[in-house]
Structure 1
Amino acid sequence: MLAISYLRVVKVNFFQVKTPTMSDGIDEKLRNRSLPRKVDREPLDNDSTHQISVHTRQGHNRVISESILPLLLCLTCPLLVRSIVFISDHCHGSIIEYLQRVSFDQTITFKDFLEDFFYFEWHWPSALILLSVFVYSIIMTALLPGKEYSGPITDTGHVPVYRNNGFIYYIVSLIIFALLTSLLKLNNLSPTYIYDHWKDFLSTVNTFAFFLCFLVMIKGKYMPSTNDYRSSSNWLMDFYRGVELYPRIFNVDIKLITNCRYGMLAWALLSVIFCMKTFELYGYTDSALVTCLLTLVYLTKFFWWESGYMKTIDIIVDRAGFYLCWGCLVWVSGIYTLPSYFLVQHPTQLGPVLTAIILLLGFLAIYINYDCDRQKIEVRSTHGKCLVWGKPAEIIRAKYILLNGNESESILLTSGYWSISRHFHYIPELTLAFLWTCPCGFKYILPYGYIIMLFILLIHRAHRDDQKCRLKYGQAWKKYCELVPWKVWPGIY
């Protein structure tokens, strides 16, 4: 308790980062431009802020939703990631065989289960790779050139500022990886070492991610970077959901690093490593190449559009906790790479015709997904004064009130792709996930675990976004829903 009291009083400098040096002037300009009037309103305390948060589950049992469920997810998610690796490596990709070995054959004892599946291990070679990539991502993000841009203004009036160098970061990282691979090959080494020690690597990342989430939670409770934080007496919920919306340590944006600069880059590099391992074992394998190429092109699109991602629900709503940070560090590495990892042990040959069809459909899905985002970004950057599919953009100007009492405005696009459904861009994303998974064949359901989980995630996200916007925009959102009635699939949902 003395230590906590000391932290409250001292406010150590390297944690006390309210993004002053880079964003204070921009914050003031944006507030003056986009917030024309002040609404008289009583100041909100932290409990009130919690109640009007989009995460509030009205009518739900708080013990279940804020204690039991977070605890189960924190325990079972690492177990699920570890189980998937075990099934792929030791059960021929069969979930049924895995369940038999655990429950019926007893080849895996309860002691083995606890030791091998609820794992917190520190494998030093893996830790060296992990920490090197993490430090590299921080340094390169700070050093690479890029124009500054602002994220959406928060409910407290804060405007986050970033440097638009994600695409350069991605390309430079791929080039460095290619050079390092060549250097390793000259010395009879290979980055496929990571595949050979995949269990150890995941265990190390898992341990690091839990530590980072705990550190960010403590930092958010006692030394928040901005006023956009929500601390409570429920430490379990704060650990799972997060405390701060925009935490920074040494002016390093934690969410930018974990979500994009480590998580998404790791997805790309691991896909290449798993493809290389498949080639090392079997020679040229078109299925592994198709999955790898589609993943790389998709992630190239992601980093090209990274500034748009920093304005999505992941960043502007979800706080930095287990749900987001652990997910980007461990879940992305263990689940998103599953099709590539599965093909190492279960390669297939597609043939030139099927290879060409899957690639063409995949590139088309990536383009449509990108074009959806491009339409929205262009409309917002031009304040609705642009063409969409050759016609003037149709928009709704939705005004809303921030928690500090100021008024702001958003633009809701009702033409182009966004006239088909409110989240039409999820359709090409799910289609693409199927296309880079189908080279695994249809004998086992395991490699389709990613697309199943992505489907659940996106449907849940569409529901959350609808709730958030309904509360935020009121009648404007109701009018928008009348014009665009479908959330994702026209005629279905």
Structure 2
Amino acid sequence: MSLNPKTVHREFFGLPGAIGITLGLPTLITFFELVTNEKYSVQGINLDLDTIANQIPSFAELKQYAFDSNCWKAYLTWFFGLVVLDFILPGKRLQGVALRDGTKLTYKINGLAMSGCLLGLIAARVYASEDYYLPELAFLYANKLSLILVSTLFSFFLAVFVYVCAFIPLRTANGKGTSERILSINGNSGNPIYDWFIGRELNPRIGSWDIKLFCELRPGMLLWLLINLSCLHHQYHTTGTVTDSLILVNALQAFYIFDGVLNEEGCLTMMDITTDGFGFMLSFGDLAWLPWSYSLQARYLALPENKLVLGRLAISAIVTLHFVGYYIFHSSNKQKSDFRQGKLDHLNFDSIKTHTGSKLLCDGWWGLSQHINYLGDWFIGWSWCLPTGFQTPLTYFYVIYFGTLLLHRQVRDEDKCRQKYGKYWVEYEKRVPYKIIPYLY
């Protein structure tokens, strides 16, 4: 069997989808900035298209925004500063899942150290500041459009870099000769545009430093945190107060960010790491899409005309929804992990033993639906959008997008499991008929 079989199935309708996403999503996050800024903020359903049209930069202005030297210096300092911290900060080393050649890659897990370092730096800057004014956060807020374009271009260049590197054979351990790189099962189609988009190489690395894992939880996730903080900073220094809605969005999303970074070892078994190559889709998604689309609620609420006071009752309801979602998401994932490790054998959970030797869990959380953890994750997304009230559907974009993403993941996972387990998967679907939402779907 070939180490790198030719890609047969193409995601996102192949080349048309790849081109559409490559052009469409950067345009979308740019649009978000055009409708949530100091000059214009969308209210209600109707958009003032004339006002928005007047804000659209000309080609010359767009070029100026995209190649602003100060923003490039700031972004490169941010990205490669985190790379340096990734190398020097302590962390534990864990092995990933077995690859197609039987080997396992070693990953450095140091999310706790890196998060602590960033928080310590922010705390020190606040302590040394006058009236809590941080020029770094003010710069970030004032240059959002430029930084959106810079992070998009950087993700484009990074995708080109890893695509080209995927054609360079690896040196063997003894330095004599070369060995074949392991490619993604989705990114070996032979079409350069599609493979560049979806990711040709499974685990692009520079030495032992894994580019994909670093981008998954470092530059984009932590930049998201800083963008949200810049919104708080801006509201405080322009109005003298901070609304409870903006504080709530910051708190809930910060909790999610640090929970993700601190539990990064869970990424080693996620589809992004085990199956998907690293191309423009993940590069852009991690570095540009995540921070600039997930921060939409905070950026909207930071504007003076969108100040919203929720009150204790609404805050309590939203926080309850968040932690119900968090409980479902984490307890279900832990239950599956413990089951796989044999920690729940004494409970005699109902399961189906497959021809591969693995078992399909049909009990507990996983007797309710095939992806009950997705439901919990979606509830968390709702808790981020509800603090914006019901002034506009724009701020509910995330739950619509994320719900679509979860459905796509469910379909991908189902296809993979159907091929892997065959008749055992058919039996599993009979026992657990619901995909995500129990008794509904």
TM-score after normalising by structure 1: 0.79
The one of 132, 150, 153 equivalent to 1:204 is 150
Query: Which of the numbers 258, 262, 273 marks the counterpart of 1:315?
Result: 273
Give the superposition deviation at 1:442.
Answer: 0.7
Matches within 5 A, 1:27-426: 43-44=1-2, 46=4, 48-51=5-8, 55-56=9-10, 65-89=13-37, 90-94=39-43, 96-101=46-51, 107=54, 112=57, 121-185=66-130, 189-190=134-135, 191-223=137-169, 226-229=181-184, 230-282=187-239, 283-345=241-303, 346-380=306-340, 382-383=341-342, 385-386=344-345, 391-400=347-356, 409-426=357-374
Name the SS for the 1:176 alignment partner.
Answer: helix
Q: How far apart are the structure 2 equivalents of 1:336 and 1:358?
A: 17
- Note closer, same or farther for the CA distance 1:386–1:273 as it changes in structure 2 (3 Å cut): farther
Secondary structure of 2:232's match?
A: helix
- Read off the aligned partner of 1:214 and give its amino acid letter: V
Q: Structure 1's 449 and 477: CA in aligned 2 closer, same or farther, altered over 3 A?
A: same
Paired residue type of 1:354: A
**Structure-1 separation of matches of 2:245 and 2:62:** 30
1: CA distance, partners of 2:63 / 2:430: 48
- Going from structure 1 to structure 2, the CA distance change for 1:108 and 1:274 (only over 3 Å counts) comes to closer
Mapped partners of 1:119, 1:259: distance in 2: 29
1:119-147 deviations in Å (ceiling 9; x for gaps): 97122222233222222322222333333
Moved more, 178-187 or 431-440: 178-187
CA distance, structure 2, for counterparts of residue 351 and residue 339 of structure 1: 18
Cα deviations across residues 279-329 of structure 1 (Å, max 9, x unaligned)? 323303100011111111122221232211221112112110111111110
The 3 A distance-change label for structure 1 pair 281 and 108 is: closer
**Identity of paired residues, percent?**
26
Using the TM superposition, give the Cα deviation of residue 159 of structure 1 relative to its aligned residue in structure 2, in angstroms.
Answer: 1.8
Change (3 A) 1:398 1:91: farther
Contact 2:91 2:110 in 1 (8 A): yes
Shift of 1:45: 6.9
Distance 1:231 1:491 in 2: 39
Distance in 2 separating the partners of 1:171 and 1:457: 31
Residue 117 (structure 1) shift: 7.0
Partner-residue secondary structure (3-state), 1:93 = coil
SS where residue 329 of structure 1 aligns? helix
C-alpha distance after superposition, 1:98-133 (max 9, x if no partner): 54556xxx6467xx4656679971222222332222
* Letter aligned with residue 341 of structure 1: R
CA contact (8 A) 2:217 2:260 kept: no
2:177 alignment partner in structure 1: none
- Post-superposition offset of 1:76: 1.3
Q: Which moved more, 1:124-133 or 1:415-424?
A: 124-133
Residue 486 of structure 1: how far off its partner (Å): 1.1
C-alpha distance in 2, partners of 1:479/1:244?
35
Indicate the SS of the match to 1:97. coil
In the alignment, what sits opposite 2:175? Answer: none
- 1:188 Cα deviation from its structure 2 partner: 5.3
Tell me, in whole angstroms, the C-alpha distance in 1 between the residues paired with 2:49 and 2:196: 31
CA shift, 1:152, in A, is 1.9
Change (3 A) 1:97 1:368: same
Q: Is the 8 A contact 1:137 1:257 kept in 2?
A: no
Paired with 1:117 and 1:423, the residues of 2 have a C-alpha distance of 42
> Which whole-Å CA distance do the structure 2 matches of 1:78 and 1:117 have between them?
13
Decide which moves more: 325-334 or 369-378: 369-378
Given that 2:79 and 2:219 are in contact with CA atoms closer than 8 Å, whether structure 1 keeps it comes out as: yes
Task: Give the match's secondary structure for 2:166.
Answer: helix
* Deviation readout 1:64-95 (Å, 9 max, x if unpaired): 93222211211111111101110112442247
Q: Which residue of 2 aligns with 1:8?
A: none
Q: CA deviation at 1:347?
A: 1.9
Q: Provide the C-alpha distance between the structure 1 equivalents of 2:133 and 2:233, rounded to a whole number of angstroms.
A: 14
The aligned amino acid for 1:199 is L
Report the CA distance between 1:448 and its aligned residue: 0.9
Secondary structure at 1:341 match in 2: helix
Asked if the contact 2:65/2:146 (under 8 Å) is kept, the reply is: no
| 1:406-428 CA distance string (max 9 Å, x none) | xxx54432222111111111112
| Distance apart, 1:201 and its partner CA | 1.2
**Distance in 2 between the 1:482 and 1:457 partners?**
25
Per the TM alignment, residue 267 of structure 1 is displaced from its structure 2 partner at its CA by: 1.9
Which residue of structure 2 aligns with residue 32 of structure 1?
Answer: none
1:399 deviation in Å? Answer: 4.4
- Tell me the alpha carbon deviations over residues 247-297 of structure 1, each in whole angstroms, 9 at most, x when there is no partner: 101322111111112222222222222222223233031000111111111
Distance 1:322 1:410, change over 3 A: farther
Unaligned runs of 5+ in 2: 171-179
> Given the two structures, how large is their TM-score scaled by the length of structure 2?
0.88
Contact (CA 8 Å) 1:301, 1:370: kept in 2 or not?
no
Q: In 2 relative to 1, CA 215–183 (structure 1 residues): closer, same or farther, beyond 3 Å?
A: farther
